[in-house]
Structure 1
Amino acid sequence: MDETAGGTRPGKAASTIPWNVQDEKSGTLFARRLGRGLLWTVVALAAVTGLRSWFFPDRPAPAPPPVVKSGPDYPTDAARAVASRWATAYLTWDEKNPTARQTALAMDMPSDANTALGWDGKGRQSVDELYAGEVTVLQHGQARVHVEAHVIANGGSADQGNWLALDVPVAQTHGRIVVSGEPGIVGLDLDSVTVPTPSPTQPDVDMSQQTKDVISQFFTAYASGNASTVAAPGADIPTLPKGFTLASVQDWNVDAGSGANRSGTAVIKWQTAGGTIEQTYRVVITRVASASAQRWQVSDLHGGAY
């Protein structure tokens, strides 16, 4: 029987194909290509970003400045007040009343402090004048107050007194200032010094002559307590203490310049306490105009040449 017709050819196995080849739809092909393109775009961006960070690294944001918390300023006014009161008690003693000094000292010292503070209980001394000066702030609430005092020994008169300086140690504790230990008497700094003289101001001679009577009238009224009657409107000039009378205007020079407010220097001689004393003032005069005329009046002054 011939098996070549409709049968299997001898010597060759039958051919078998497990799938069928089909044409890919256009939408699927586009989606695949789009996804592939997006993937490569991301890879490219990552590569570029990484390379840029190698050569141009991001600089970190500057750190904010540190916050410095400062404590309250040292109470120097309170330190001066306590040191003044305590130094007055410390420099005052009377052998007839020895406990008075200790009682006064205890007011500004810790409760367990020794209030005798080295005095042997003999003699007599009092304080005529006392002034607290520089406060040197130290660590841990400690400070040192420089005090200058005029003391009189053994009931003498004021002209027999002696000036001395005292460094008083104080401490800030529990909301108050106390004296923390024994003081020390130190020398007074009375060395001769010089002060730079300000450059002289060029005077306006004509203006000085025109307004000298204004200055004389003002200081006459100033001594009598009636300065407001001759001062410029709105001027606030405190009344001079009683006991002064104008003896003379020694000198009056208006500074060179212009305008409705001018400044000048007045040298005044006051009569007081049975004698005379010379004083220097800086004076501001203001031009005051009315319907019929204008005049210069004093609007401000202070003591000193500048």
Structure 2
Amino acid sequence: MSNPWEVAARQLQEQRADSAAVPAPRPGAGPEPVPAGPAAPWAVVDEHSGAAFARRFGRGVLWALVGALTLLGAKSVLIPKQASAPVQQAAPAQSGPAYPADEARAVAARYARAYLAWDEKTPETRAAMLAAVLPEGADTAAGWDGRGRQDVLAVEPGTVTPAAQQQARVRVDVLVRTPAPAPPKPGAPAAPAPPAYWVGLDVPVVQAGGRVVVTGSPGMVGVPASGPAAPEVTGPQADGPFSDQTTETVKTFFAAYAAGETETVAAPGAVVPPLPSGIVLVAVESWTADQGGGADRTGTARVTWQLGGARLEQSYRVRLTRVVSTSAQRWQVASVLGGSTT
């Protein structure tokens, strides 16, 4: 079907062409004016041209935008916007200064030594020692009735358990012994002294005025008869040939170790303090070098010493280093540590 707008435009152009035609001029006559026809109110444009496509595309985009805005407006009316919940900010952790555990152990150990040591002949000695670690005005008798005698041989402070209001509880293990009673009459043999034993003491302390002091009464607690089961530890693989090669080196070192002459057998630059006098080497029972390589090797030695009329077998971790000179090379001890921990 023909486009009516194109048909109308062609008809208008034909009318303008007919009205523009004039008869040939007569001789001697001037040219007659050509009446101007009315201008066409539109022009024919090819439907396949870029301008037509641009107009249609622009109208499509405009209507799409209008539709989107309409949908958004309808959504805001039909579905009200919900207020988002405020984000809870985590409160910063309140981190104060750590409890003075070292000072607490020292104060509790001093208190335990004074608390469990007494002598009815010199009660003022115990009172003065307790006053140094008690609050001002505290009772320096600390529950003692003023009778008997007991000696403290050793004190071992342990775990500090902090509590509220700057308080803490300190565990202290104390080795005590009661002296042998006096003979019933002059010249009679003295009775043997009772054996020493360990007793646990829970000491309450508090931090006040920049110091730690004992507050309140302590309590005696039991000491476990044995420790927990130890886990199985896998040791390093042994190097048999290297162990045989260096056995004499290790034996020579431990002989010098007991004699106080380690500087003659230790590696250059190594500092190995000698053992105290009175310790005698009985034997190097075994030497086992670990698998490895390089100029530094480590192994375990089991050594028997004699001291105090008895023999003790002990373990050492020994590190050897290879020393090279212009004419030869040899292995020498660079360090020695007690125990078998690898």
Identify the TM-score tier after normalising by the shorter chain: 0.7 to 0.9
User: Given that residues 94 and 125 in structure 1 are in contact (C-alpha distance below 8 angstroms), is that contact kept between their aligned partners in structure 2?
Assistant: yes
User: Given that residues 128 and 158 in structure 1 are in contact (C-alpha distance below 8 angstroms), is that contact kept between their aligned partners in structure 2?
Assistant: no
Paired positions, count: 260
Displacement of 1:98: 2.6
User: Given that residues 125 and 153 in structure 1 are in contact (C-alpha distance below 8 angstroms), is that contact kept between their aligned partners in structure 2?
Assistant: yes
Identity %: 47
Pair 1:108 & 2:133 matched: yes
Give structure 1 stretches of 5+ with no counterpart: 1-46, 55-61
Question: How far apart in 2 are the matches of 1:304 and 1:197?
Answer: 16
The residue identity in structure 2 corresponding to 1:135 is V
TM-score relative to the length of structure 1? 0.75
Match of 1:284 in 2: 319
Pair 1:248 & 2:283 matched: yes
Moved over 4 A (4+): 62-69, 154-159
Question: How far apart in 2 are the matches of 1:105 and 1:155?
Answer: 26
Match of 1:81 in 2: 106
Match of 2:199 in 1: 164
Displacement of 1:271: 2.1
The residue identity in structure 1 corresponding to 2:126 is R
- Find 1:150's aligned residue among 145, 156, 175: 175
Question: How far apart in 2 are the matches of 1:95 and 1:135?
Answer: 32
The residue identity in structure 1 corresponding to 2:308 is A
The residue identity in structure 1 corresponding to 2:239 is D
Displacement of 1:94: 1.9
1:144-193, Cα deviation, whole Å (9 max, x unpaired):
11111122225566652232110011111111110011100001122453
User: Given that residues 206 and 215 in structure 2 are in contact (C-alpha distance below 8 angstroms), is that contact kept between their aligned partners in structure 1?
Assistant: yes
Pair 1:305 & 2:305 matched: no
Distance 1:66 1:299, change over 3 A: farther
Match of 1:72 in 2: 97
Question: How far apart in 2 are the matches of 1:84 and 1:113?
Answer: 18
User: Given that residues 124 and 155 in structure 1 are in contact (C-alpha distance below 8 angstroms), is that contact kept between their aligned partners in structure 2?
Assistant: no
Pair 1:212 & 2:212 matched: no
- Find 2:146's aligned residue among 113, 121, 137: 121
Give structure 2 stretches of 5+ with no counterpart: 1-68, 77-86, 182-191
SS where residue 270 of structure 1 aligns? strand
Pair 1:238 & 2:273 matched: yes
User: Given that residues 152 and 176 in structure 2 are in contact (C-alpha distance below 8 angstroms), is that contact kept between their aligned partners in structure 1?
Assistant: yes
Greater Rg over alpha carbons, structure: 2
1:37-90, Cα deviation, whole Å (9 max, x unpaired):
xxxxxxxxxx9xx99xx9xxxxxxx99987656333222221111111111111
